[in-house]
Structure 1
């Protein structure tokens, strides 16, 4: 099977790409191949497929929120060809038998590449570590209790030691429960103004400080999920200078929103970690720009309409992100002139692929044909009606953005195509 993508822009040059058996075999200004299927890119820009190291597909157990099928469609719609799925489904992916079933389920139902995290400990909260060695052999991409901070230092340290032995990363949702105090948004003046209970931001930085010490001692690849505070960025910067094997992600919503933008009790602005202060947001942007933060990840967290309605006091934490991430980052960082396109590719494709040892993130002869074609010229409004995810819970609905996905290919197979005129 041969596919010839014609008339696409790569690194500001108009080129054709020939794909055979899922691999790029030629890139040239013009390629003639009589027996290839032709895809006319119509002078849109081609990028390496995006890689998201933090998604929730809710399948099994919570499929009214999302399924592997709908989640993978949403990913392809957003230009993502590879994602790393969290283990907090039902049952939690905390033992080899459940992991094996999940890997088979992912392979059967997904349009894209899904790499599966397994849990650090039973049901994401136990103090005894899971069978990390066996689950690593089965194919777990790494280990995390995402949705919960690991409250016990010994549990985290043992998990790190075991993950180091099998050369797998630990991804941490850093949150000290004793400092949450039933909060629904960041503690501070914004929460006080709305008379809503606040989550102490020290909950994140205090547990991160503990983990960085443990990571240095163990030598494990330690990854910080959805970093959100200035103090955390400062700690991460120091740890990297001291040689700790640490990487970090930041979510688009923490880069673009802060708690002062929450002007009313709005469940669409409720996520965990919560939106922090403008000072924190500025620090996150600075950390991303100087390389302290390695990548952008969506923390795609779909919920039902009922779960995201009413008050922040009772609604669920989380927003969807796969279908809006590229356009939001492109519009606010590249279109604005703050960074160039290669920097965005590094944040959303190359770096996550490299840090998690995934064969993705580049366009070259011999690389997998995991590709996305983007219209960078015509603006559009984010509309929940166009989401392929079951979740419509996004605070970015109605925003005017650039960077619309026109087509997405996985191993040379077309998995999404825009039906519009451009």
Structure 2
């Protein structure tokens, strides 16, 4: 039995940092104590903070027909440098609604991923909602739908999807924007070849309307609903309203909605195009507040980069999406914890614990506790690191985060007890990660 002792680290307990040592045996946390246990390998945490590895439930990592955007090797390495130890791959263009497609994605991840991995199925429509029945057998627990272009599910389709999701106790992850409102607003703004016009064409009202509709589908069927990439105060208000009626609704937001506003697109142009769109500083602050209050439970990347050539087009045809994996933990620590917008416990809740609960894997994942998988990140809280497309690990040669510096980059990253990053340097190998669909599910919060 191989043992590792991670010593001299500070673990957040309630509102305090407690200096402890963590004994790891065969990938599992065996003991947490002030004792200096004997071990095959000793890793000195240098008095830094140790947190559970981040779990990103919404990342576009590998599309077999579009590998030039990102792949498992680049995406998982960027994720590790972002403090993430588990990635759930979201479909990008290729539908993941057949077992053979899902198994091919898993095969490539097993070969290339530095971190643990899983899949979201989809995109579900009236034609393929029975994919839930097939994919749940191989450990898929989350399924993506759209209420709008480009993969819109019909009203009839939504009913079938939610009924099947309730039957199988899986999570419906929804891109929530109302297609009718989008059509109305695009007609109003389309003539302006302007990035701010694009952002205005997908309004907070479109988001809120779709959240309410989906919330009632969840309420009527009993299916679990997770609202993806919430971007607006009106969206937060709609989620809050539905949560008061239905405890089976959760929501996520992303770093770009917590930092940029549509005014920033005047500088970045189409390199800040995404959907849902950027909103205002009022929306941004409402999202931070919702994270701290637990209204928005999950922090996710919606990583969706593309080659530069696809971004350098007119605003209506340019690719929508940005690289986010590498900044995830450092951004949340710097602009959330250090700036007092969220507590360190909230950082852990939204980045680790709650995503693990969503997947039905808490506390085996998402926690530093005896019996948990040893997915641990030790944060470098003493030094900043500059973000640059010249040094990041994404596949693309650009980033809207260019020139920003963050604290909280990984000093160490352990993926089920294996050191991937040591003192900020890569020491791990691709193929280290494991498929979380094979893990025993404990503590499901249905």
TM-score, normalising length from structure 2?
A: 0.86
Distance 1:150 1:283 in 2: 28
Distance 1:200 1:71 in 2: 28
Distance 1:197 1:282 in 2: 18
Are residues 43 and 187 of structure 1, via their aligned partners in 2, closer, same or farther at CA, if it must alter by over 3 Å?
A: farther
Counterpart of 2:262 in structure 1 is 259
Are residues 148 and 126 of structure 1, via their aligned partners in 2, closer, same or farther at CA, if it must alter by over 3 Å?
A: farther
Is structure 2 residue 284 aligned with structure 1 residue 281?
Answer: yes
Q: For the Cα contact (< 8 Å) 1:384–1:392, is it kept in 2?
A: yes
Are residues 340 and 206 of structure 1, via their aligned partners in 2, closer, same or farther at CA, if it must alter by over 3 Å?
A: closer
Given the alignment, which residue of 403, 409, 417 partners 2:414?
409
Given the alignment, which residue of 66, 71, 84 partners 1:67?
71
Is structure 2 residue 54 aligned with structure 1 residue 53?
Answer: no
Distance 1:281 1:88 in 2: 26
Give unmatched runs, 5+ long, in structure 1: none
Are residues 356 and 197 of structure 1, via their aligned partners in 2, closer, same or farther at CA, if it must alter by over 3 Å?
A: closer
- CA deviations on 1:88-116 (whole Å, 9 max, x unpaired) are 343x2111222233233323322211111
| Shift, 1:418, TM fit | 4.5
Is structure 2 residue 33 aligned with structure 1 residue 28?
Answer: yes
Counterpart of 1:160 in structure 2 is 162
Are residues 148 and 291 of structure 1, via their aligned partners in 2, closer, same or farther at CA, if it must alter by over 3 Å?
A: farther
Counterpart of 2:275 in structure 1 is 272
Counterpart of 2:337 in structure 1 is 334
| Shift, 1:246, TM fit | 0.4
TM-score, normalising length from structure 1?
A: 0.90
Find the residue that maps to 1:306 and give its secondary structure. Answer: helix
| Shift, 1:412, TM fit | 0.3
Find the residue that maps to 2:266 and give its secondary structure. Answer: coil
Find the residue that maps to 1:385 and give its secondary structure. Answer: coil
Are residues 220 and 194 of structure 1, via their aligned partners in 2, closer, same or farther at CA, if it must alter by over 3 Å?
A: closer
Given the alignment, which residue of 293, 312, 334 partners 1:290?
293
Distance 1:364 1:308 in 2: 44
| Shift, 1:181, TM fit | 4.5
Are residues 187 and 141 of structure 1, via their aligned partners in 2, closer, same or farther at CA, if it must alter by over 3 Å?
A: farther
Counterpart of 1:106 in structure 2 is 109
CA RMSD of aligned residues (A): 2.5
| Shift, 1:154, TM fit | 1.6
- CA deviations on 1:240-290 (whole Å, 9 max, x unpaired) are 111241000000110111112332461221111110122322322232222
Counterpart of 1:140 in structure 2 is 140
Q: For the Cα contact (< 8 Å) 1:87–1:145, is it kept in 2?
A: no
| Shift, 1:205, TM fit | 2.1
Counterpart of 1:400 in structure 2 is 405
Distance 2:32 2:197 in 1: 58
Find the residue that maps to 2:325 and give its secondary structure. Answer: coil
Counterpart of 2:82 in structure 1 is 78
Distance 1:385 1:293 in 2: 33
Counterpart of 1:378 in structure 2 is 383
Q: For the Cα contact (< 8 Å) 2:377–2:411, is it kept in 1?
A: yes
Distance 1:333 1:197 in 2: 25
1:171-210 paired onto structure 2 within 5 Å? 171-181=173-183, 198-201=200-203, 202-210=205-213
| Shift, 1:356, TM fit | 2.0
1:364-375 paired onto structure 2 within 5 Å? 364-375=369-380
Aligned residues: 413
Give unmatched runs, 5+ long, in structure 2: 426-446
